[in-house]
Amino acid sequence: MPETPDGRAGIDADLVERLIAAQFPQWSRLPIRPVDNDGWDNRTYRLGDDMAVRLPTAAGYAPAVSKESRWLPRLAPGLPTPVPVILAVGAPALGYQFHWSVRRWIVGETADRTRIDNLTEFAVSVAEFIGALQRCDTTGAPVAGAHCFYRGTPPSHYDQQVRHCLNRLTGCIDTTTAATVWEHALATECDRSPVWFHGDIAPGNLLVDHGKLTAVIDFGTCGVGDPACDLVLAWTMLSGDSREAFRSTVDQDSGTWARARGWALWKALLTLTDPDSADRDLTTRTRHLINEILTDHDDLG
């Protein structure tokens, strides 16, 4: 099946309906409809009222299907917040090239400050989840690398990319301080035993209901390594008291925070230099995010 112009593998409700009918006929009478807030790495469709179908959009995201299927059932008992429950795994068929999954539907909306009454309480809940994840057994777990886009590894993997972005942004942001933040991230090493990390603790992967954290989803970039990448929420969503509550509860050393600032800066620089992005609101938010990262570095070192 040729990919669509936006690279999303030609996935639509008709394909999902045919895949379900062919491989899981027991569910073929259930209605299929797209979700309101879809992701980029995967397309998600409601299957009836209690299930969802999730399909990778490109080859780079496909390995996550088997990883989640294997590891989520093992991680779930040790976590304080629900995570996806995999009900079935489908095979490539009908021109669709990748394995895909059927999972239990989780009630909730993606996290947004406007949906959260007590952001400090929310921050503590996320931090407690991260702490519990780090305590999960790592025996046989996937070591950080290409499968998780190098989350969990030293941020030096993206050094060339960051320096290219800084050169392009000279005169647009405080590249001198940004370079210092990046150098501090590179200068630290993770001196602890590898632990589990999620890899993308972001508002879109945190579900809330009535303002409370109800689930953490999308473990496609999870693995075992340095957990610094899981701390970027401190700047991408939190501020003031909520950031301090998150920082205190998650309880990481200064080197881990330095690498976390590096990860947050890397992603923000990529967003700001993306030639396909003409969203002025996104540009404004990203500039604000970079300023928050740089200010936090100045305040805490």
Sequence spans of domains, the chain: 13-104, 109-300
Mean pLDDT (whole number) for 255-280:
91
pLDDT-based confidence at 280, cuts 50/70/90? confident
pLDDT of 272 > 60? The answer is yes
pLDDT band at 5 (very low <50, low <70, confident <90, very high): very low
- At 246 the pLDDT is 98
Predicted pLDDT of residue 41: 87
User: Who wins on pLDDT, 7 or 19?
Assistant: 19
The pLDDT value given to residue 203: 94
pLDDT at 182: 98
Question: Residue 3: is its pLDDT beyond 70?
Answer: no
- Residue 87: predicted pLDDT: 97
Q: Of 16-20, 58-62, 174-178, where does mean pLDDT reach its minimum?
A: 58-62
- Looking at residue 301, its pLDDT comes to 53
Q: Is 202 left (phi over 0), alpha (psi -120 to 50) or beta?
A: beta
Average pLDDT, the chain: 93
Question: Is it the case that residue 42 has pLDDT exceeding 50?
Answer: yes
**The one-letter amino acid at 235:** W
pLDDT of the residue at 298: 66
Confidence (pLDDT) at 275: 77
Give per-residue pLDDT as tens, 134-188.
Answer: 999 999 999 999 999 999 999 999 999 999 999 999 999 999 999 999 999 999 9
Predicted local confidence at residue 91, as pLDDT? 97
CATH for 109-300? 3.90.1200.10
Range with the poorest average pLDDT among 36-45, 113-122, 146-155, 280-289: 36-45
CATH topology of domain 13-104: Phosphorylase Kinase; domain 1 (3.30.200)
The pTM (predicted TM-score) of the whole model is: 0.92
**pLDDT score, position 300:** 66
Q: According to the model, what pLDDT value does residue 262 have? A: 97
Ordered DSSP codes for the chain: -PPPTTSSTT--HHHHHHHHHHH-GGGTTS-EEE-SS--SSEEEEEETTTEEEEEESSGGGTHHHHHHHHHHHHHGGG-SS----EEEEEPPBTTB-S-EEEEE----EE--GGG-S-HHHHHHHHHHHHHHHHTS--TTPPBSSGGGTTTTS-GGGGHHHHHHHHHHTBTTB-HHHHHHHHHHHHH----S--EEE-S---GGGEEEETTEEEEE---TT-EEE-GGGGGTHHHHT--HHHHHHHHHHH---HHHHHHHHHHHHHHHHHHHT-TT---HHHHHHHHHHHHHHHHHHHHH-
Query: What's the confidence (pLDDT) of residue 8?
Result: 59
Residue 167 is predicted with a pLDDT of: 96
Q: Read out DSSP for 1-35?
A: -PPPTTSSTT--HHHHHHHHHHH-GGGTTS-EEE-
pLDDT of residue 7 exceeding 80, the answer is: no
Q: What is the pLDDT of residue 9?
A: 60
The predicted structure's pLDDT at residue 16: 97
Q: Is the pLDDT of residue 257 over 60?
A: yes
